[in-house]
Structure 1
Amino acid sequence: MTSAPGKVRTVLGDIAPADLGVCDAHDHLFLRSPQLPGQELESAGAAAEELAEFRAAGGRGLVQWTPHGMGRRAELLPELSRATGVRIVAATGLHQAVHYVPESLERLRTGGLAELFFRELTEGIADSGVRAGLIKVAGGFHGLDDHARWTMTAAAEAHHATGAPIAVHLELGTAALDVLDLLCGELAVPPHRVILGHLNRFPDLGLHQQAAEAGVFLAFDGPSRTHHATDWRMPDAVRSLADAGFGDRLLLGGDTTTAGARSVRGGPGMPYLLRGMRPRLESAVGEELTQRILTLNAARAFGVEWA
C-alpha cells in the first residue's frame, strides 16, 4: 500500500497509517443515548465477540465515532484492541443535543467545549489514558442549528490546535454543503481533514460530487438498515464518484448503533462490511479500488501530522 503521511492515533498509541490495515471507518463498540432505549451498546463481552467476528472477516482497523457523553467506555478499548488484534481509534466530540440531558450540555457550555476536545485528543479521555484520534460532530436535517454551529466551532478550534480530523454525522445524509460552508469556509478547516458521514442515506449523486470536489472525504456507512434505503443504492453512488475521479475520497463503515444490530445478536453487525458490502462493491468498481477504499483511503483520512 502506498504510504500515507502522519500517524493514526489509536487507543494503544500512534501508529503508521499503513498499519491500520483493512478499516471500518465508522462504527461503534459502545454507545448510549436516550434515543435508543433498551438498545444500548454497553456489554464488554458482546463488544469483544463482535470485534473478533470483524477480525475473522479480515478487519484490522476500526474507528469508533462515539463522542463525549455517549458511553464510549474508553477505558475498555485498549484491552479489546490487544485481545483481538484490531487497531481501534476513539473519538472526542459531541453529537446532536437530543442525545444528552440539558444539564450536561449546560455544564459543557460553561466549561469550554474546545478545551475538552483538545484535552481528550492530547492528554486522554477522563482518566483512561486513551487519547482520541478524531473529533465527531453532527449536523441537523437539511440545516445547522445553534447547537451544531457551537459544536463545529469548538471542533474547528481543536482541529487547528492539533490537526485532528473532524467526522460529521449528516442527519439522513443532508446539509452536507451547509457543513462545508461552515467548517471549510467560515472556520477554515482544510477539506481533507473533514469526513462527511451517511451520504448513502441521501443518494443525490450530484450533491455527492459537489462535496467530493471540495476535497473532503465521503463516508458510505450504516449498511443494511431496515429503515434506510442504503444497500441497493450504495454501489451506484460509489461507482458514480469513482467514474468522476473521486475514488480517493471514499470511505466505508458499518455504523452499528444498536444491540440488536450486532452480528453476535443476529444482525448484520461489523462483519457485514466485509462479508456483504465488500463483494458488492467489488462487482461495481473492482477489487483494486475497493481495497484502496478500505485501506489507503482510511489511512489518509485518519493519518495526522499531530501538532
Structure 2
Amino acid sequence: MNAVRTVLGDIPPEELGICDAHDHLFLRTPALPGQELDDAAAALVEVQRFAALGGQSIVQWTPHGMGRQWDRLVEISRATGVHIVAATGLHQARHYGSLDDIWDRLAEVFIAELSWAGMIKVSGDFHGLDDHARHTMTAAAQAHRVTGAPIGVHLEGGTGGLAVLDLLCGRLEVPPHRVILGHLNRSPDLGMHRDLARSGAFLAFDGPSQANHGTDWRLFDCLAGLIEAGHVEQLLIGGDTTTAAARSRPGMSYLVRELQPSTTAAQCDLGVGS
C-alpha cells in the first residue's frame, strides 16, 4: 500500500503534512474506568484547535474493541479538513473482556477492517512478548501480507522493541519499514534506540503526558542522538492522549504550538534543517 488510507479514502503520503503520528480521539478500556474518551463534541474541538495551529493529520491508534467510533472520525475529518487514519488490531489482553468470538480469526477481522482503517495496532509486553502478543502479531503479519498496511506496536514502558522486531521482521518477515515502534520516549535508552533504528523501522516518540512525565525531559536528547546518527527520516512524534483530562493538559495542540518549533530548532542546531 503506497497510499495512506484515511477514514475518507486513500491519499498520497506527502499530503499528511504536519501529522500527530500517535493519538486517540476516542478510547474506552476497562483498564481506565471512568476516564473514557467518548465525547464527540470535545474531540471535534480538539481537532479544530490542532488544525488552527497548522496540524493536518492525526493517526488514531485505538484498535478493535476499544471504542474507535469510526462514524465520528469520518464526521470530524469532514468538518475540519484534517486527515484521520484509523486502526484495527488488538491491544493487550487487559483492555478486553472475552475475545472468544474473534480469537481464532483475528487476521480475517483485521483484513476486513483495513477496508477503512489505515494501520494495524498490536502490543508487546514489558521487556518481552507474552502469548497474547505473539498471537496478535502473527495475525497482524498475515493481514499485512494481504493488505500492505503498516503495523504500529505499543511497547510497554518503551521496552521489548528488539523482541518485537525479532518476531515481526524476523520470523514473520514483515519489512522493517512497515513497522512503527511506539512509546520509545518512556525508556530513554539511546543505545537501544539506535539499535532499533538500524533495523529500518520507524520510531515513535509520544507525549508528553502526566503519566510518563518522568522521562519527558530526555525527549530532545533522544531525538538529537538519533538525528546525529542519521535516522531523522524514521522519527515520528505524537501526543498519545488517552484520557479526557489529558485532552487539555497538554493536548495534541501542544505538538504544534511548542514541541514542533522546538524540534525544528534542534534539527537546525545539528545542521539537519527543518
Q: Distance in 2 between matches of 1:155 and 1:290?
A: 36
Superposed CA offset, 1:191-214 (max 9, x none)? 000000000000110000000000
How many percent identity over aligned positions?
63
Shift of residue 226, structure 1, vs aligned partner: 4.2
Q: Which of 158, 170, 187 is matched with 1:173 structurally?
A: 158
Please state whether the residue corresponding to 2:139 is helix, strand or coil.
Answer: helix
Q: Distance in 2 between matches of 1:161 and 1:180?
A: 20
Per the normalisation by structure 1, the TM-score is 0.86
Q: Distance in 2 between matches of 1:290 and 1:63?
A: 25
The match for 2:77 is: 81
Which amino acid counterpart does residue 269 of structure 1 have in structure 2? Answer: G
The match for 1:237 is: 222
Superposed CA offset, 1:261-291 (max 9, x none)? 112xxx1111011112112222322299585
Quick check: 1:160 aligned with 2:145?
yes
Quick check: 1:217 aligned with 2:202?
yes
Say if 1:184 and 1:283 are closer, same or farther in 2 by CA, change over 3 A. Answer: same
Q: Distance in 2 between matches of 1:71 and 1:94?
A: 12
Q: Distance in 1 between matches of 2:273 and 2:210?
A: 21
Please state whether the residue corresponding to 1:231 is helix, strand or coil.
Answer: helix
The match for 1:96 is: 92
Shift of residue 225, structure 1, vs aligned partner: 2.7
Runs (4 or more) in structure 1 with deviation over 6 Å come to: none
Q: CA RMSD in A?
A: 1.5
Structure 1: unaligned runs, 5 residues or longer: 123-130, 292-307
Contact 1:30 1:71 in 2 (8 A): yes
The match for 1:69 is: 65
Contact 1:281 1:290 in 2 (8 A): no
Quick check: 1:147 aligned with 2:140?
no
Shift of residue 79, structure 1, vs aligned partner: 1.1
Which amino acid counterpart does residue 68 of structure 1 have in structure 2? Answer: H
The match for 1:109 is: 103
Which amino acid counterpart does residue 188 of structure 2 have in structure 1? Answer: P
Shift of residue 228, structure 1, vs aligned partner: 3.4
Q: Which of 24, 35, 42 is matched with 1:39 structurally?
A: 35
Please state whether the residue corresponding to 1:225 is helix, strand or coil.
Answer: coil
**More relative contact order, 1 or 2 (CA 8 Å, 6+ apart):** 1
Q: Distance in 1 between matches of 2:54 and 2:71?
A: 25
Per the normalisation by structure 2, the TM-score is 0.96
Q: Which of 284, 304, 307 is matched with 2:266 structurally?
A: 284
The match for 2:256 is: 274
Q: Distance in 2 between matches of 1:227 and 1:29?
A: 19
Structure 2: unaligned runs, 5 residues or longer: none
* Superposed counterparts of 1:184-195, under 5 Å: 184-195=169-180
The match for 1:128 is: none
Q: How many residues align?
A: 273
Which amino acid counterpart does residue 25 of structure 2 have in structure 1? Answer: L
Shift of residue 137, structure 1, vs aligned partner: 0.2
Please state whether the residue corresponding to 1:106 is helix, strand or coil.
Answer: coil
Q: Distance in 1 between matches of 2:211 and 2:63?
A: 24
Q: Distance in 2 between matches of 1:198 and 1:223?
A: 10
